Structure 1
Amino acid sequence: MDISSGEESGISESEIENYMDKPYEQLRTGIHKVKNVNGTVRCPFCAGKKKQDYKYKDLLQHASGVGKGSANRSAKQKAEHLALAKYLEIDLSDEAEQAQGPPLPQPTSQTQKDDLYVWPWAGIMVNIQDQSLHNSDYWFKELAKYRPLDVLVLDELGVTAQAVVVFSDDWNGFLNASEFEKSFESKDNGKTGWKLHSIQPGSNIYGWIAREDDYRCEGPIGEYLRTKGSLKRVSDIVDESSKSRHSVVENLANEIDMTNENLTELECKYNEKALSLCRVLEEKDQLQHALLEERKRRNQSAWEARQRIMDEQEKLNKELEARKRKLDLWSRDLNEREALTEQQRQKLQEDKRKNDQRNESLNKAAVEWNKTDANVSRIIEDQKREKEEALRRIFELEKQLDEKHQLEIEIELLKGKLNMRKHLGDDEALQKKIKEKQEELEEKEFDFEVKNLENQTLIVKDRESNDELQEARKEFIEASKNSLINARTNIGIKRMGELNEKVFVDACKKKLPLEDAQIKGVELCSSWQENVKNSEWYPFKVIPTDHDDVELILNEDDEKLRKLKKEWGDNVYKEVVTALKEIIEYNPSGRYIVSEIWNYRENRKAKMKEAVSYILEKIKHLKPKRTAR
């Protein structure tokens, strides 16, 4: 379990001793587990590490090392490991005693102390009669709980078999061998039982620890024991183990002392190196500071020198310009006083020839524009005359139509009166009047049909004239794209529905740096040009009028327009609204940009006659005056 997240994660070095009390209490109460099931110990504060099976000594060394000497651990981790070291030293001290090695077995009597055992420890099993049990692997598995190193089955005349069980030569091996012997003695199948029933042993298997008499006996068991082992008393082995352990302890103590001395020496060297490094770092900082100061000083000197050079250069440039102007004046004066040379006269003649050619071209252009003006004027006059004639005819037709309708009403009234008078018996005069009215109606209908045909003919001519005028406007627009007409003149070509990029760039300059404003303005203009061309966006309200027509009113609550006005201001908003109205007026279905002849002075669509007159006027002004010879 980790320390509660509600506590401070950061602990200063001075608070380590105070903070270790809490994890120590958690270790004592069992919140943090230290012991493993297999008898080893673990570090509860390094739960993410792969190795979690320590011996007591190794875990104590780990906890002390992290708590006192680890430089890459936080103060909190150091406090937790110091608490673990304290817990191991105080509350798990018995684990330290167990970790020194298994306790030496104490013989139960003086006889056992003086008994000679076969060493390495060995067990003996006799009277193995079943042929299926004459197998070493079987007995190795069967006796696995006693942890034997090997089991050797020795056949005796192929009827019964004997086995030697080999144990490890340490005290654990002796304990396992003793448990092996006790398991047979508990069933009365030990060495004593074998001596009593050796003549008639039955089917029981007997077993015990190999001793002196077994070592010296005849047969395969004795030969094996004499070959592989020797006889030793338990007391001798205890003494040897004690001496060996004391020797190991002394060696370890000497190694620890030497290690501590080496650590002390290394610590001194580390402190010396650290102190030397601090001095080097201080010197480095001083050198860097001096270098920066020297660099600043040199930069300042270089800047001052460059400024002086620039001032001198500017002064020299001014003097040079003054002398150039003076020389130009002298040269001009000399050129005015000199007579014209032959080369100059030839050049003047060449200029006159080019001027004559340019005048001739302009005269031809003027003639063509005059023809165009005459044609346009003629078309306009014809259209005006035909329209007046058509209006007059339409008026007469409407008048005749009214008369026709009036006659039809009178005939219906007379028919009604006739039907009424049929019942009265006096209808001859009424019949005559009805016949006269019908003849008059037929005559009116004939005149109406004739005039209607004439009116249709005029309408067709009007359409042809209008188509011809529209074609002339298109040709004029195409011809004027590279001519004298442009957006800076009174009459020009305007692209209806196209946004002015400058308006967007100016709006961006108010909010962004100059470099970014240009790019952002172009992107914004392109984006809103696509919105204007999108036929799915229609921010208009359709309002019916009194003349069976509709009127389009801008929907100022449109979300896109409100957002545009709020973010980029009125100028951008007005530009988008104007372009949208133009493209809805001139091309509502396709929503692509259409070119139109425009009167920029009055901000309206220009008439064809106005455009031609304006071009002719420009040509007159462009005609150069002929130079007198």
Structure 2
Amino acid sequence: MTEFLCFSFFEKKKTKNVSSFCCCMFVHPWKGIIANIPTTVQDGKHVGESGRKLREDLTEKGFNPLRVQPLWNRYGHSGFAIVEFKKEWDGFNNAIMFEKSFEMEHCGKKDYNSSRRQRGKLYAWVAREDDFHSRGLIGDYLRRNGDLKTVSSKEAEEQRMASKLVVTLSNTLETKNLRLKEMENKYNEVSQSISTLMEQKDEMIKAYNEESKKMQQNAHDHFKKISLEHERIAQHFCDKKRELEQREKELFQREAQNEAATKNLQHDKMMNERAAFEQKKMDERMLKLAEAQKREKEKLHRKIIELEKQLDTKQALELEIQGLRGALQVMQHMERDGDAEGKRKMEAIQGELQEKEEEMGDLEDLNQALIIKERKSNDELQDARKELIITFKDVSTRAYIGVKRMGELDIKPFQTAAKRKYSAVEADVKSAELCSLWQDYLRDPSWHPFKILTDKEGNSKEILDEEDEKLIAVKTEFGDEVYTAVTMALAQMNEYNPSGRYIVPELWNFNEGRKATLTEGVQHLLKQWKQYKRRRH
């Protein structure tokens, strides 16, 4: 790789020069330096060409830089910029081509350091060791954002990484083979366990059915016994009643002769009727209890059977799919042996697995239909929300519910900051210019001052990079109020439209400072309509 790069860049040079080039120390990631950028003084600050414009010019020339970062000091634009290229070899190739292009036009580093340097002409070169250790903005930036490497050390580093990757892949392959053997053994154990469980399950179902039949027969015999006993007792009381009635007639005939006997007979009759009534109530209670017990048993039995069928169907299907998948993995691993019988078994298992998965898919169709219905309802709600946003676009922000333009800068902090630095006449113009400038920065997708943080559980979160140079500059120059307005609009832009970076209207609850619900929007619209209707009448 080193020999190829050296030859491609210096094919017209001597072998000695190629060797010295490969040993030369460059700043990595590869960076270039642009010097002598023309600047003008505006409002006491030096202003020069933006990094985006320089990057577009270099891209058109085929150097493919990642970004161009102008260097700023307390006087404004320093006239220098750092060009950042990709870390890989194609980035190094672009960096060298970038340097050679300027050298061919006599605009290299030597030309810049000579006394014949021309004002208003750009000079550029690739950042090396002397630039890295230099004092000033360039050295500070390079030491902060890179380190020194030779082309040979970069190639050696990549070779070490490749060797490490080969060793890692070899260890991984060995581990996977051991894991495959473990899975095969585990599959055999699971298959045996499943067979044993299925046999035990069949025996338990058989025993349960026999016990259930036995319980039903016992309940039927018990109820029949209770019914016969009730009929016997009822017949006994009927006979007793007829006997007492006959005796009552006889006693009435003998009333004059035996009043005491009549009273005893009436007492016996009353006690017998009370006992018969209590027995009747007890019989009715026993019948109701028996019927309720019978209904509960039948209901419980039906529910148990239904649940067992559902559970058996699902468990059997899942066990069959799991078993077939395990068998299929083992068969696929054994396919390399060329066993025709094994291949036929694998094809049969694949067919059976496909049928089981289709059955499982049928069970999921209902869930999918519900998901589609929910998605359709959600789309309708989103359409209604869009209509409300269109309706409230022209409503004043003093209203309870209205439309907020997410990502749009508030000009008030800029006006406050401008009044501190400029006169009352210039403050309005300067604040409008500053607000417009930072709104352009917000719309630039290449400016993404965010960083990713990952916690101990592996969850990632994107937060604002407070060390970004632009954010530090705006906070230092204009204060916390402007910094807060810029970061708030930047967060809204990143949340609502991170790719397009343009302003998005949102239905907003201005009283509580949050996104309004659809219900709140509709209620507010109805309230306005009622007020309008009262004014008309």
Shorter-normalised TM-score: what interval?
Answer: 0.3 to 0.5
Q: Which is higher, the Rg of structure 1 or of structure 2? A: 1
